[in-house]
Structure 1
Amino acid sequence: MLPIPNLDDRMFEQMVMEARKSIPKLFPEWTDENAHDPGITLLELMSWVTEMQQYYLNRVTERSERKFLKLLGIRPQDAVSAACEVTFTGNEGQLVLPKGTPLLAMDLRFETQSTVQLVPATLEKVLVRTETAAANYTSNNQAKIAFYAFGAEARKGAHLYLGFDRALPVDTEISIYFNLFDRYPVKVNPLLDKTDPLVSSAKVAWSFAGAGKEEQTESWLPIETHSDTTVHLSQSGELKFSITSDMKPMSLYPADDRSRYWICCTLEEDGYELAPKIEKITLNTVRAVEQETLSEVRAFNSTGEPNQRYELISHLAYTGLHTVQVLDEQGRWRDWHVVASLKACGPDDLCCELQQDSVRRVTRLRFGDGEHGSIPPQGAKRVRFIAYTADFDYGRWVGNSKGLPGQTFEISRGRAFKPSSMLLQVGYRPRGEDSFVWDDWTAVDDFDNSKSTDRHYVYDAAAGTIRFGNNEAGLVPRKSGEPNIRFLALQAGGGVRGNVKDGLVTGFGFAAAPGMSVTNPFAARGGREAETLAQAKLRVQRELAAPTRAVTAEDYEAIAKAAPGLRVARVKAIPLYKPGMRDFPRVTAPAQMTVVVVPYSESDKPRAGKGFLQTIKQHLDRHRLLTTELHVIPAAYIKITVHAVVVMEPKYKNEQRRIVLELKRLLAPMDHGQGEEGWRFGRTVYKGDIYGVISRIKGVVYVQDIWLDAEGTGFHKDGAGDIHIPPYALVYSGDHEVETISLTDL
C-alpha cells in the first residue's frame, strides 16, 4: 500500500520567511520589512490561514472523501458483470431454455438473460445479391471474416439470403443474432438509457420462401417480426420473428447445388452512414451474463377476483424451491402455503396451487376462490413469487435480531454479491399470532439521511457485512429469538474475470439434451471491478467538465458528439444561423442554432441520413434552452480540383503521385491535413494553402502555377482564385491534375 503523503509539511515561521524572501524580487519598492509594517502583518495573517488549511487538508480521511463525493451526487460504482452471446447447436427437436439457464466457462457461471426457443435447423448458406453481383459468404460467416450485408455501397434493392437445411417451424418465435463489425476509428457512443430510441437511416424488410397462392410456385412472403434490436441492421443485435406458413425449398444461385429453405432481408430504403458489415450470423443465440442468481422475486398485480392465475418462465422458478408472499390490508407481507391442490384448503387458508409445464418450462400459480383458499387483496404488485436454489435454502437466512443498535451481520462468506440485486426482509410475530409477518428493508450507502423510522441497512461489500441503524439514524430490527432476517433476492457475480475469451462458455449447469452443445462465438466483454475511491474522483472530474446544458456553441458540439448509439465524427454549431439564409454572417437570425453533423463513414463524402439527424436532434432537444430554435443538418461538400505546374529536381521529376496524395490529405473532410479532424467547416480554400503543401514535398524546387476549380452549391470564387465556402460546408478532393517539369528542362 502506498504511503499517505504528509500535506502539513511547512510551519508558520517557514511560510513567513519564504514570503519575506520573495519581496525584493516581486516588489523592489517595498523596503520596510519590519514587524510594524502593515504589509508584514498581512503576510503573517496569510501564512497563518495557509497553515490552518494545510492542517485540515492533511486530516481528510477516506470517509471524508466519500462524503465529499456524495455531496456532488457521486458514489463509487459497483462491480459489473461481463456479457456475451452464446449459441446452442445439436438439439434434435424444439426446446425452450428459460431465462436464467445456467452455463459454465471453466469455474465461472453464466446465465441467459432471456428465454430462447431452440429450433432444430442449421444455417448452411449466406448469400449477398446486389444489382451487379452475387456472392456466397458462407465461409466468411463460419470463419468470422467480415463481409458487407448489402455490398460496399448498400444500394436500395440489395438482398441478404440465409439458407437453412430444414424448414423453420411455423408460429414459433425464432431468434437470429447478427454480430456486426465494430472496430472502426470512431467508436459508437454508449447508450445512457436503453429506452433512448435509435432511428435508422435505412429500412429493411424480411421475407421467407413459401408456397404461392396455388401452393405450387415459390413466393416470397412477409415474415412476422416480433423485435429487432439490430435497428434495421444498423448495429449488432437480435432479430426475433416467426414464420406464418410452411416454407418451400428452392435453389438460389450461387448456392444452387441443392434446394434449401430461405429467408431474405431486402434493403428497401438506403441511407446507411456506414454500410453494415457482418462478422457472424447465428441461429439459436441468446445473451448470457456472468452471474449466479441465488434467489429471485417476481411481483404480480392482484385484481382481488377469485381464481387468479399467474405464470412465469424462469429456470430458477422451474428448478428451485419456492415461497409465495401476499401483501395484506395492513401493508405487511405474509407467506402463503404452496399446496398440490386447493380443494383441501378452507376459505380462510392462506394457500395457493403450483403447477409446472415440462415442455414450455412454465411455472403457473393459482389462488383460491374464497371457498377453497383465500383471495389476495386487490392492488399493484401485491403478490410475490420467490424462487431460490436448494443450496441457498439455509444461506438466505441472515440471522436473528438482538434488538440492539448498530447490529452487524456477516453475509458474504468469501463471495461478492451485487448490491443492486438485494431484497432484504425483517420479520416479527404480531401479538396473538403464530406466524411471522415481514417488512421490506432498503439498502443505503450510509445513514446520514435516515430517520429513526426508516427501514434502512448498509451493505459493506469489502467487509462482506450488512449493518443496521440505531433508532436515531435508521430503525433497529425487532428482537427475535429465532431467525427473522432473510434475503428474498440475491445475485453473485461481477468483475474482470468474467471477460472470458471466445469459445470458453461450453459447459451446462443443467441436464442438457444428448448431443446439444453451446459456445460463445465472441469474447465476453463489459466486466469491471468495483470502482475504487481514486477512480471515482477521476470520474467526477470528467463528469463535472462535461456540459449538461446546451448554451454556447461549444456546448452544442460536445453534446451532439456524445449522442448515444451513434458514430459522430465531426460537429459544427453555427449560432444565429438558419438553414437557407443568405448573406450570413452579415445577416443573422436571433434565437437560432444550426448544428452541422458528419457521421463516421468510409466514403469520401460522409453524409448523415434522416435517422442519424433525428437521433441527434432528439438528444439535443433535451439539453437546449426553451427559447432556442434548433436545426440539425448534414454537412454540404464542395469538390476542389487543383491544377498545378511544379518545377522539380531532376531525380524527382516523376513524383506527381506523391503530390496528389498530399493534396488529397489536405483537402479531406476527415483527414489530418488540418489539425486532427480534417478541413475546418467554412474555411476558405486559399491558393496559399496549396502552395505551402506542395512546396514542403521533398524534391520540389518551386510551384510555377496553380489554379483551383470547385463544384457544389453555395461557394464563390474571388478575383485571386481562392474558393470561399459556406459555414456549413467541407471540401473533398477531385481529380487533381499536376504537371511536373524538371529543373534541367527549363
Structure 2
Amino acid sequence: MLPIPNLDDRMFEQMVQEARKSIPKLFPEWTDENEHDPGITLLELMSWMTEMQQYYLNRVTERSERKFLKLLGIRPRESVSAQCEVSFEGLQQQLVLPQGTPLQALDQRFETLTTVQLVASTLEKVLVRTETAAGDFTSNNHAKIAYYAFGPEARKGAHLYLGFDRALPEQTDISIFFQLFDRYPVTIRSAGNGAAPMVSSAKVAWTFAGAGQQGQSESWLPIESVSDTTVHLSQSGELRFRVTSEMKPISLYPADDRSRYWICCTLVEDGYELSPKIEKVSLNAVKAAELETFSEVSAFPSSGEPNQSFEVSSYLAYNGLHTLQVQDEQGHWRDWLAVQSLADCGPEDHCCELQQDSARRVTRVRFGDGVNGSIPPQGAQRVRLIAYTAEFDYGRYVGGSKGLPGQTFEVSRGLSYKPSSMLLQVGYRPRGETSVVWDDWQAVDDFDNSKSTDRHYVYDAAEGTIRFGNNEAGLTPPKSVEPNIRFIRLQAGGGVRGNVKDGLVTGFTEVAGVSVTNAFPARGGLEAETLDQAKLRVQRELSMPTRAVTAEDYEAIVGATPGLRVARVKAIPLYKPGMRDYPKVKAPAQMTVAVVPYSESDKPTAGKGFLQTIKQHLDRHRLLTTELHVIPAEYIKITVHAVVVMEPKFKTEQRRITQELKLLLQPMDHGQGSAGWRFGRTVYKGDIYGVISRIKGVVYVQDIWLDAEGTGFHKDGAGDIHIPPYALVYSGDHEVETISQTDV
C-alpha cells in the first residue's frame, strides 16, 4: 500500500525563516527585517494561514472527498459492460431470438440487447459497381479486409450489391450489420443521451430484385426500411428492413456463375466527407453485451378498459418465472395471480392469464373484463411483469426487516452487480388485510438529503451490503416475520474482462446446429471508477466548455460534435458570410464557424449534412442572442514560381524544394510534421523564402512570385496573398528553376 503523503510537514517557524531568507534576493531594497516591521508581520500572518490550511488539508478523508465531488454533481461511475456485434449462421428455418438471449465467451456471459429475427439465408456475394469498374469483394468481406462501398470517389450512381443463396422472407424484419473501417487519426466522439441526431451529407436507396410488372422479367423494387443506424452508410451500424414482395433470382456481373437473390444499395446523392470503407457485412446480426440478468421488469400503462393485453419479447419473460404486479389507487403494488383461464375468476379476483407464443417467442398477459377477473386501474406504468431465473427465485429475497433503524443486509459478493439495474421492493401486510403490498425503494449514494419518510437505501458494492435509514434520515422498512425485502430487477456485469477478442463469443445452446460468433473484439468494458479517477475526470469536465460564449468555446464544442470527424475548426466572431473589409467592419451578435472534416482528399469539404449536424449541436450550447453560421472552409490554390541558386552538386534538387513547399502550403496535417496552414493567415513571400533557404544546398533565392486561384483573396503590391478568415491554402503545381552557383 502506498504511503499517504503528510501535507503538514512545515511548521510556522520554518515557513517564516524561509520567507525571510528570500527577502534579499527578491527585494534587496528591503533592509529592515526586525519584528516591528509591518512586512515581517504580514509574513508571519501568511505563514500562520498556510500552516492552518495544511493542517486541515492533511485531514481531508475519502468520505470528505466524496462529499466534495457530490457538491460538483459528480459521482464515481459504475462498471461498464463491453459490447460487440454477433452474427448467427447455420439456420434451417426462421427463428426469433428475444432480447436477453444468453451467449458465452469462455467464462464470460453475454446477452443480446434487442430482439432479432433470424432468417435461413446466407450472404454469398458482395459486389461493388461504379461507372468505371466492377469488383467482387466477397473474399475481402470474409477476411475483414476493408473495401470501398462505392469506390474511392463515391460518385453518384455507384452500387453495392449483396447476394443471397435463397430469397429473404417477405414482411419480416431482417437485420444486416455494417462494420466500417474507423482507424483514422481523427476519432469519432460517441453520442451521449440527448445528443442531436447525425445528418448524412450523402443519401443511399435500398432496393431488391423482385418480380417485374407489365411483362418485365424482373425489376428493382424499394425495400421498406425499419431503422438505419448507419445513417446512409456514414458510420457502423445496423440496417433493419422488410422485403415487401417476392424476390426473384438474377445473375449479376462479375458474380454471374449462377443466379442469386440480390439487394442493392445505390448512392443516389453523393457528398461523403470520407468515402465509406466496409470491413464486414453480417446478416442475422445483433448487438450483445457482457451481462447476466437475474430479474427484469416490463412495465405497461393501463387504460382501465376490460380485456387488456400486453406483450413482452424477452428471453427471461419467455423462459423464466413470473410475478404479475398491479399498482392500486394508493400507489402500492399488489401481486396478481396468473391462471390458466380467466373463466375461473370472479369479478373481484386479482388474476390474469399468462400465454406464450412459441413462434414469435413472446409472452402475453391478458386481464379480465370485470366479470371474469378484475380490471387494473387506469394509469401510466400501472402493470408490471417481473421475470426472473429459477435459480434466483430464492436469492431475490434479501431478508426480513426487524423494524430497527440502520439495518444492514448482505448480498452476494461473488458477482459485480450493477447499481443502476437495481430495483428493490419492501413488503408489508396492511392492518385488516390478508395480502401483502409492496413499495419501491430508491437507491441513493447516502442519506444526507433523505427525509424521514423517504424510501431510500444505500448499496455498498465494496462491502456487498444494503443499508437502510434510521427514521430520521431515510425510512426504516416495516417489521416482518417473513422475508419482505426483495429485488425485482437486478443485473451483473461490467469490467475489462468483458473485452474479449474476436471469435470468442461462440457459446449458444438455444437451437441445435446454429452457431454464433463475434467478427470483431468486444469493446467498451470498464471497471468501476475509483475515487482518484473520479477526481481526474471532474478536472477534465470542469475545463470543458458547456456554453458557447467565446470563440475558443465554439471551437472546442464543434470539435466534440458526436458522430463526426472534425479535423479543423475556426470560429470567427462578429463576422457574417458575405461581409467585406472584415475585421474593420464587424456585425454585432454574429458568429461564423468554418469547419474542415477529416478526409483523404487534399481539399476536405464539409457537406450539407456535416454542416447541419454541427449547427444542431451548437444550437444546444450557443447564446440565444447569437446568430450562428456554419460554413465549409474556402480553399485558395497557391502556386509558387521561384528561381533558386544552388551549390553545383545540388542543382537537380527541384523535387526536394517542391516537396517542402507542398508541406508548407497544405490545409491539414497528414502526419508529415506540419500542422497545416492557419485559417486566414496571409501567404507572405517571406514564408517561401524561409522554407527554401533552409534546404540543404541552397545558396540564395534569386526571385519569387506567387499566383493564387479561388474566391475572396487579394494580392497586394508586394506580391503577398491575403486570404479571407475562413480560408485555407493548398499547393498548386509549383514551378522551381534551379541555377548552379557557378553559372551565375
Bin for the TM-score computed over the shorter chain: over 0.9
Aligned-pair distance for 1:405?
Answer: 1.2
Aligned-pair distance for 1:195?
Answer: 5.2
Indicate the residue corresponding to 2:6 in structure 1: 6
Give a deviation string over 1:509-568, Cα, whole Å, max 9, x none: x4323x210000000000000011111111111111111111111111111111111100
Aligned-pair distance for 1:341?
Answer: 1.1
The 8 Å contact of residues 316 and 388 in structure 1, kept in 2 or not, is answered as yes
In structure 2, distance between residues paired with 1:31 and 1:639: 66
Give a deviation string over 1:58-87, Cα, whole Å, max 9, x none: 000111111011111111111000000000
Aligned-pair distance for 1:674?
Answer: 11
**Structure 2 matches for 1:710-729, cutoff 5 A?**
710-729=708-727
Secondary structure in 1 aligned to 2:281? strand
Is 2:545 the counterpart of 1:547? yes
Indicate the residue corresponding to 1:512 in structure 2: 511
Give a deviation string over 1:157-206, Cα, whole Å, max 9, x none: 11111111111111111000000000000001121226521000010000
Indicate the residue corresponding to 2:265 in structure 1: 265
Give a deviation string over 1:229-286, Cα, whole Å, max 9, x none: 0000000000000111111111111111111111100101111111111000010000
Q: Give the TM-score of the pair, scaled to structure 2.
A: 0.98
Q: Residue type matched to 1:618 in 2?
A: Q
Indicate the residue corresponding to 1:131 in structure 2: 131
Aligned-pair distance for 1:673?
Answer: 10
In structure 2, distance between residues paired with 1:674 and 1:590: 40
Indicate the residue corresponding to 2:412 in structure 1: 412
Indicate the residue corresponding to 2:89 in structure 1: 89
Report the more deviating stretch, 688-697 or 360-369: 688-697
In structure 2, distance between residues paired with 1:672 and 1:360: 52
Q: 1:585 aligns with which of 571, 583, 586?
A: 583
Secondary structure in 1 aligned to 2:483? coil
**Structure 2 matches for 1:323-722, cutoff 5 A?**
323-508=323-508, 510-513=509-512, 515-671=513-669, 677-722=675-720
In structure 2, distance between residues paired with 1:195 and 1:333: 35
In structure 1, distance between residues paired with 2:87 and 2:672: 46
Give a deviation string over 1:97-137, Cα, whole Å, max 9, x none: 00100000011000001111111111111111111111111
Indicate the residue corresponding to 2:274 in structure 1: 274
Aligned-pair distance for 1:34?
Answer: 2.9
The 8 Å contact of residues 663 and 674 in structure 2, kept in 1 or not, is answered as no
Secondary structure in 2 aligned to 1:248? coil
**Structure 2 matches for 1:61-140, cutoff 5 A?**
61-140=61-140
Aligned-pair distance for 1:216?
Answer: 4.6
In structure 2, distance between residues paired with 1:34 and 1:646: 71
The 8 Å contact of residues 322 and 385 in structure 1, kept in 2 or not, is answered as yes
The 8 Å contact of residues 665 and 673 in structure 1, kept in 2 or not, is answered as no
Give the length in aligned residue pairs. 744
Indicate the residue corresponding to 1:35 in structure 2: 35
Q: Residue type matched to 2:111 in 1?
A: E
Quickly say closer, same or farther: Cα 1:742–1:484, change in 2 above 3 A. Answer: same
Secondary structure in 1 aligned to 2:47? helix
In structure 1, distance between residues paired with 2:542 and 2:92: 56
Q: Residue type matched to 2:230 in 1?
A: T
Aligned-pair distance for 1:459?
Answer: 0.8
The 8 Å contact of residues 573 and 590 in structure 2, kept in 1 or not, is answered as yes
Secondary structure in 2 aligned to 1:507? coil
Identity %: 82
Q: Where do 5+ consecutive residues of structure 1 fail to align?
A: none
In structure 1, distance between residues paired with 2:64 and 2:686: 59
Q: Residue type matched to 1:185 in 2?
A: P
In structure 1, distance between residues paired with 2:709 and 2:19: 66
Give the aligned CA root-mean-square deviation in angstroms: 1.4
Report the more deviating stretch, 644-653 or 360-369: 644-653
Aligned-pair distance for 1:715?
Answer: 0.8
In structure 1, distance between residues paired with 2:66 and 2:94: 53
In structure 1, distance between residues paired with 2:671 and 2:708: 19
In structure 2, distance between residues paired with 1:106 and 1:655: 60
Secondary structure in 2 aligned to 1:246? coil
In structure 2, distance between residues paired with 1:251 and 1:672: 43
The 8 Å contact of residues 673 and 679 in structure 1, kept in 2 or not, is answered as no
Aligned-pair distance for 1:29?
Answer: 3.4
Q: Residue type matched to 2:140 in 1?
A: N
Report the more deviating stretch, 484-493 or 463-472: 463-472
In structure 1, distance between residues paired with 2:43 and 2:605: 62
Aligned-pair distance for 1:215?
Answer: 5.7
Quickly say closer, same or farther: Cα 1:173–1:215, change in 2 above 3 A. Answer: farther
In structure 1, distance between residues paired with 2:543 and 2:248: 59
In structure 2, distance between residues paired with 1:215 and 1:444: 69
Quickly say closer, same or farther: Cα 1:641–1:702, change in 2 above 3 A. Answer: same
The 8 Å contact of residues 666 and 673 in structure 1, kept in 2 or not, is answered as no
The 8 Å contact of residues 195 and 562 in structure 2, kept in 1 or not, is answered as no
Quickly say closer, same or farther: Cα 1:395–1:132, change in 2 above 3 A. Answer: same
Q: Residue type matched to 1:319 in 2?
A: N
**Structure 2 matches for 1:198-347, cutoff 5 A?**
198-214=198-214, 216-347=216-347
In structure 2, distance between residues paired with 1:27 and 1:700: 52
Give a deviation string over 1:614-662, Cα, whole Å, max 9, x none: 1111111111111111100000000111122222223322222222111
